[in-house]
Amino acid sequence: MFDVISVGSATEDVFVYIPQKFATHDACVFHPGTKVDIKEMDYFTGGGATNTAVAFSRLGFRTSVLCVVGNDESGNSVIKNLKDEKVNTSFVKKIPGKTPYSVILTGFGRDRIVLCYSNMTASINKAKTNFSKLKAKWFYISSLHSKPVLLKKIVAHAKSTGTRIAFNPGNEELSLGFEGLKKAVKKVEILLLNKEEALKLTGSGDIHRNLKKLSEIATIVVITDGNAGAHATNGVYAYSVGIFDVPRVDVTGAGDAFGSGFTAAIMKGKSIEEALLYGGANASSVIQSLGTKNILLTEKALQKFLKTHKLAVKKQKL
């Protein structure tokens, strides 16, 4: 029995640090034939499942991960990294083909650009997972890159075993629309979205209206809003928090860091106010360096961060 199993994608990421001279006021521009001398380049593993699994492990939880990699060196790197982080890898499936790969252009004074190679055959659905073997107190489900039938299988298994669910849907899941997603997951414990994803589901840009509407899908709803911070509700009260004042190097992985940090706090029995701070601290740590999981916090480091970085959480009736 694990405390949590992270379910979703695994990738290998290469971060390419682009000089600022290639940035215009709203774009990163390369002219054909140009030779670009980059400032820095680093390889890391990524993907929602591996990022969040490492986050949970560092915060002291017995953690496993359900994901798929190719039978290549990138797949070996993903597995090695997870083992190094004390994440159980018995549910990592190797299948023929290449591990999904991302090239992340960053460092040019704007938000990063992500070039994705997603081998759609490398999905959990193809791995023919025996869901009866998945035993955990929590599932953290991120983007599955698969048809809705896979999501429904995982949710049905969780419901039958009393496993609680934190859900951070990807594009495939969001494409179901509000009613389709609600039908697919019934009601989960935690729903994690960014502002744009909430808009896609509800058609509204009003945060508080969305918190109330999305409470039909989850007991706790969280909506992140970039530089404006994050919002959450338990269906009765709405909570809002700003962002910590830290230097930013790259924001890749911030969503996974926030979602896993927030969920970890709830798993530890903490309040929504505390969970928002846990999520913000974890995300703030990650964005200060390249890579999606390098500076994910331990419990001790997280508490130290919160002692030195103060932030107030606002509470009001929903």
DSSP string, 165-197: EEE---HHHHTTHHHHHHHHH--EEEEEEEHHH
- CA-closest candidate to residue 105, choices 193, 14, 172: 14
This prediction's pTM:
0.93
The identity of residue 79, as a single letter, is I
Q: What is the dihedral of CA 100, 56, 161, 186, to 10 degrees?
A: -70
Cα dihedral sign for 141, 146, 147, 150?
Answer: negative
Nearest to 110 by CA among 229, 230, 199, 21: 21
CA distances from 88 to 12, 13, 28, 188, 289 (A): 19, 21, 40, 24, 26
Coil, helix or strand at residue 142: coil
Q: Domain ranges in the chain?
A: 2-23+38-317
pLDDT at residue number 250:
78
Question: Domain 2-23+38-317: which CATH class?
Answer: alpha beta
List average pLDDT for each run of 10 residues in the chain, which is 318 residues long: 95 87 81 85 91 97 95 94 97 90 80 77 70 94 86 94 96 94 95 97 95 98 95 98 90 92 98 98 90 85 95 95
CA 111 → CA 17, 25, 28, 108, 191, distances in Å? Answer: 12, 12, 10, 8, 25
Buried b (16+ CB within 10 A) or exposed e, 245-271: eeeebbbbbbbbbbbbbbbbbbbeeee
- Model pLDDT, residue 147: 79
